[in-house]
Chain A
Amino acid sequence: KQEVTQIPAALSVPEGENLVLNCSFTDSAIYNLQWFRQDPGKGLTSLLLIQSSQREQTSGRLNASLDKSSGRSTLYIAASQPGDSATYLCAVASTDSWGKLQFGAGTQVVVTP
């Protein structure tokens, strides 16, 4: 059974610092891994989707890497801003399912001005 873990559960950084968020998963047989952002009282917004054949994916200040063999993904957010404060979740689509995402519990990020 796939298990997804995100450590730390919470993180606080001053504005301008780079953010590094970690995600680990137990079963390397995956189709893809996705990173989401969740703001309080709102749904999830997809940030990046990395296919299993890819090593990384970039969008603006965001960069996500994937090491399938070691079961790890890292989300980097460059030059953090107060608007980046949110909960970040990673989710894995395993090959024994179709479209079924297994989520981590998330990392709550606070960027202080």
Chain B
Amino acid sequence: EAGVAQSPRYKIIEKRQSVAFWCNPISGHATLYWYQQILGQGPKLLIQFQNNGVVDDSQLPKDRFSAERLKGVDSTLKIQPAKLEDSAVYLCASSLSRRTGGPSDTQYFGPGTRLTVL
């Protein structure tokens, strides 16, 4: 079974530039998550999709970050414009969860995209 795919793996940009990350979840997984992991910290959830609808985006800085999940499969996360503090690893994860409410099940993570903002 193929895992969660992410691209690019690394990205270096200057502040105020734009950047986009792509994620392809495990086939059949209804729920997709984007996390931000700053060096030395645990991942922080940015946005969660159930199929192509947003379940939780309470920690997404909406003035500069946006995300979409087309047709309930692939997803893109965009930052525009980037700031120095956006330097982090951006992780995508997916889970099977098909219920509209209830406990989470096991999340499967991609390798992440390491973003450096200069």
Residues of A within 8 A of B (CB): 4, 31-32, 34, 36, 41-46, 49, 51-52, 89, 91, 93, 97-101, 103-106
Contacts and interface: CB of A to CB of B under 8 A. Distances in A.
Given A98-B55, A100-B45, A103-B42, A46 B104 contact: no
Contacts of A104: 42
Residue among B31, B45, B56 with the highest chain A CB neighbour number at 10 A:
B45
Contacts of B31: 99
Nearest to B9: A41
Nearest to B110: A43
B104 A98 contact: yes
A65 B103 CA distance: 19
Contacts of B97: 99
A44 B109 contact: yes
Contact of B42 (A46, A52, A91): A91
- Main secondary structure, interface of A, reads strand
B8 to A, nearest CB: 14
Interface of B: 4, 31, 33, 40-45, 48, 55-56, 91, 93, 95, 97, 101-112, 114
Contact of A42 (B40, B42, B112): B112
A106 B110 CA distance: 18
B11 to A, nearest CB: 14
B103 A31 contact: yes
6 contacts: A44-B43, A44-B107, A93-B103, A97-B56, A98-B101, A101-B45
Contacts of A43: 4, 91, 93, 109-112
Given A42-B112, A100-B45, 16 more contacts: A43-B110, A43-B111, A44-B93, A44-B109, A46-B107, A46-B108, A49-B105, A51-B103, A98-B102, A98-B104, A101-B104, A101-B107, A103-B42, A103-B44, A105-B42, A106-B42
B76 to A, nearest CB: 18
B7 to A, nearest CB: 13
